[in-house]
């Protein structure tokens, strides 16, 4: 849209005929559309490559519960049991 509007303003300022202004503005609109579409494709490809590289570098384990670290693994449940027995006494 910026290419279209810019072409109209510049064409009008240059004193071109209306038909010439509109024709050039429509051509600019299509050219800018194609360039924007190509830039979008490249941007999408770059993002997909970065996401794939991140997933390769940081894989998700099959069972996230086994991979996570819980306090019970270090005897956390034994500490809570000893603290409850002192409270009862």
Domain boundaries, the chain: 2-72
Buried b / exposed e along 45-64 (16+ C-beta atoms within 10 A): eeeeeeeeeeeeeeeeeeee
**What are the pLDDT tens digits along the chain (89 aa)?**
788 888 889 888 888 898 999 999 999 999 999 999 999 999 999 999 999 999 999 988 887 676 666 556 565 555 555 555 555 55
pLDDT at 48: 97
CA gap 32, 62 in Å, rounded: 46
Buried b / exposed e along 2-35 (16+ C-beta atoms within 10 A): ebbeebbeebeeeebeeeebeebbeebbeebeee
pLDDT at 85: 54
pLDDT at 57: 93
Question: Contact 31/6 with Cβ under 8 angstroms?
Answer: no
């Amino acid at each position: 849209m910026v290419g279209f509007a810019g072409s109209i303003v510049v064409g009008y300022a240059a004193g071109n005929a209306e038909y010439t202004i509109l024709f050039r503005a429509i051509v600019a609109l299509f050219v800018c559309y194609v360039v924007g579409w190509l830039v979008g494709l490249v941007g999408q490809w770059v993002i997909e490559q970065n996401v794939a590289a991140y997933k390769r570098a940081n894989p998700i384990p099959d069972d996230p519960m086994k991979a996570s670290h819980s306090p019970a693994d270090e005897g956390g449940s034994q500490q809570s049991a000893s603290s409850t027995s002192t409270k009862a006494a």
